[in-house]
Structure 1
Amino acid sequence: MGKLDGRVVIVTGAARGQGEQEARLFRAEGAEVVVADVLDDRGKAVAEEIGALYVHLDVGEEADWQAAVAAARTAYGRLDGLVNNAGILRFNTLTDTPLDEFMQVVRVNQVGCFLGIKSVAAALTEAGGGTIVNTASYTGLTGMAAVGTYTATKHAVLGLTRVAALELAGAGIRVNAVCPGAIDTAMTNPALLDPEPERDPERERDPERERDAETERDRSSERLYRRLVPLGRIGRPEEVARLALFLTSRDSSYITGQPFVIDGGWLAGVSVV
């Protein structure tokens, strides 16, 4: 018996990273999974491998959400859950952030979460209740320089989570948020925190030199996280997936409206010894 036997769950941003691991784990636990993403080739490949349904979903487009919910109900007859995982990250100081960049992040992270909640509520109510798990962030509970736009949207996700939990509780719908710290995915790979080495466009590409540079960036990032994170390492996407599974399963049946931090202890404070 799987923890999600008989459940039908949409996972956004499921073509890679946290979303992919959530889709894989949910499927392994018995759920019918709708893999939703804008990366069609990658998303279709993941869906085919795990025996899931793929839908193209731009989370900032309400029509795409309506189509995704309809596809899930057509394929499986019902909808029981949503993991609002899709998100983007941009590094910039606030004063250097163009309005277009700010609105791009808001559209995906904040508007996408809002549209997800709005679009699935009726189907979950019809199913007799369900679960929504929103992906916020460690930065939704604190601040972090150079990611102000991302931080602002993740604070907003926590607000949406709490309001949705209050408004949807009467329909038997639980709404919670996961708040990851640094997780080793394509979006937040710690190597990206280090500047790329300058490249001479006239110099012939040297794969060995590039591999050495990548290894050194990885080592530098490992040293950084050993200093910042009490557990001494970056998180793994499958660890976040297990938390999302808990919040989607009956194991969390009396929990709603809450943020769950998964950051290796980063938010606990700073150690000076």
Structure 2
Amino acid sequence: MTQLRNLIDLHIGRPASDGAGVRLTRVIGGPGIERFDPFLMLDQFDTQDPDDYIAGFPDHPHRGFETVTYMLEGRMRHRDHLGNEGLLKPGGVQWMTAAHGIIHSEMPEQQEGAMRGFQLWLNLPAKNKLAPAGYRDIEPADVPRATTAGGVEVTVIAGRFDDGELALDGAVQRPDTEPHYYDLRLPAGSEISVHTPRGHRVMLYVYEGALRVEGERGGEVGNNRLARLGEGDAVKLSSANGGRVLLLAGKPLNEPIVQYGPFVMNSREEIEQALRDYRDGVLAV
């Protein structure tokens, strides 16, 4: 029998600056990060002002997790120490596995216009934190998209979408955390019920309009609000006036999380080692 997930609580992001001064909204990240395991951080960038993004993200290191960048508007150029280079375009996705270490830059390839999208940090299990790094560019045409019988537009970045009628595999499948990452556009008066694996943590981020989480303990989720949902195997959403939402689900690792800037490990000693490796030039080898 289907069990709808209830609304636990709502969160609002805070203004932040990263890279060489890029202005963004940090939706999650920082204190209490364990509540969102296996997700570590979600940043939203949404501006028409080039002064907010033009300095970009010059060369910087990462270790111990994965980054997922999903672009709605704008163009960003990726380069890394492995020789990878790619242009992230509207509708495209960049999936980078930092693991043992990667040094990369993300720089805007435009001087004006909108820059809009998201970057998600996804944890890696302890057994894979020092595995080889990896990188993948996913062109907009290669990101699966469809429209449900109820008129909801679905973009499936990761995992498998299933509403009982439409089933669609995402562009990426990952072990251990088993992430599901959907972008859903609900027209006015529509609703959708999405299957989610039992045991996964689920959260929603509404970034246009508003919607309602249906269920015994449901509630309204307004624009620019993140909602954590409880246990169950389905999420039922409706929208009176239309809305757009990221649905994120992942299997928690239930491992210690120790973060220091761009490094996410399981202990302070491992963080100190990452700092030494970066200083000695062996983080990304």
Relative to the length of structure 2, the TM-score reads: 0.28
**Which of 1 and 2 has greater Rg?**
1
Q: Whose strand fraction is larger, Structure 1's or Structure 2's?
A: 2
User: Higher helix proportion, which one?
Assistant: 1
